[in-house]
Structure 1
Amino acid sequence: MKTIFDNLTRNELIGRINTLHEGSTAQWGKMSVYEMLKHCTTYEQMMLGKIRYKRSFLGRLFGKMALKDFVGDDRLIKRNVPTLPQLKVKAASGNVAAEKSKWIALLQEYNPANNANIVHAFFGELTHEQVGQLVYKHTDHHLRQFNS
């Protein structure tokens, strides 16, 4: 199972991020490349514990069950999975290069020794292993969305 805590995996993702550019278009979904980048930097801030969001009501009811579909195996995240309201981005355009740099810097902060108590806005409290798998899968999902 791939994880963001593996240096080779993280470097592979960073290489894929570096292929994104202003003209990158989504293969599915409604996000522009800038919106996706901004969404991903906000997601990383949540997963690194830099920002915290209140758990959603539906997350409290179904989060732990849904988490089982996202971690524990190599299945890809399905296309058009709904985005948490807190992570939706409304700005269709912005500085793509700056947002890429910000995302890469955040990904480089993941440390295998970090055991921070992370609470996902939908899934709830996550183990270190779940954080690593979710971050990898989320990043891969959006890079595939933009054919990177």
Structure 2
Amino acid sequence: MKSLFDEATFTEIQNRLNTLEQGSNRQWGKMTTAQMAHHCQLPLNIILEKETIAMKPNWLVNLLFKKSMYSNRPWRKNLPTIPRFKETEERDFKAEKTSLENLLQEFRAQRHRDDWKPHPAFGKLTKEQWGKMQYKHLDHHFRQFDV
């Protein structure tokens, strides 16, 4: 399973983000590329402790979702999104893409860190689990726009 803390995987994600364009072809869902770029920033902001969200852990969702986070199988199309992460506002593509690029660099800079706050829904995660989860989320949305 790929992790954003792996150099080759991080480079892959950067390259894929660089190919994302405002007019990239959406394969599923309702978000625009700008909305997707903003949506992908939210989990990174939580990890980097720039934002907090209150969530009630659900053991069944936790069990099923955690299993999917660490498998090599891509997430299926049209997965449900928690309300806080749903994107409905219009966004500026260039600004959102730049913000996502910057957050990815910040996240990458944390690769030697070992003390991570618990995830609001999944609890304590290791550094590897954080890296894998972020790769999986970005991969899902980059595939959504065929990048």
TM-score bucket (shorter structure): 0.7 to 0.9
1:1-148 map, 5 Å = 1-56=1-56, 59-91=57-89, 93-110=90-107, 111-148=110-147
Contact 1:47 1:135 in 2 (8 A): no
Q: CA deviation at 1:63?
A: 4.0
Task: Note the alpha carbon deviations across 1:64-89, whole angstroms, 9 max, x for none.
Answer: 30243223321111111111211112
Contact 2:44 2:103 in 1 (8 A): yes
TM, length-normalised to structure 1: 0.87
Give the direction of change, closer, same or farther, for the CA distance of 1:122–1:26 in structure 2 (3 Å limit).
farther
Give the direction of change, closer, same or farther, for the CA distance of 1:27–1:135 in structure 2 (3 Å limit).
same
Structure 2 CA distance for aligned equivalents of residues 80 and 143 of structure 1: 13
Contact 2:70 2:133 in 1 (8 A): no
Name stretches of at least 5 consecutive residues in structure 1 with no aligned partner: none
TM, length-normalised to structure 2: 0.88
Structure 1 CA distance for aligned equivalents of residues 63 and 36 of structure 2: 26
Name stretches of at least 5 consecutive residues in structure 2 with no aligned partner: none
Structure 1 CA distance for aligned equivalents of residues 45 and 61 of structure 2: 20
Percent of residue pairs bearing the same amino acid type: 37
Q: CA RMSD in A?
A: 1.7
Instruction: Name whichever structure is richer in strand by fraction.
Output: 1
Residue-pair matches, total: 145
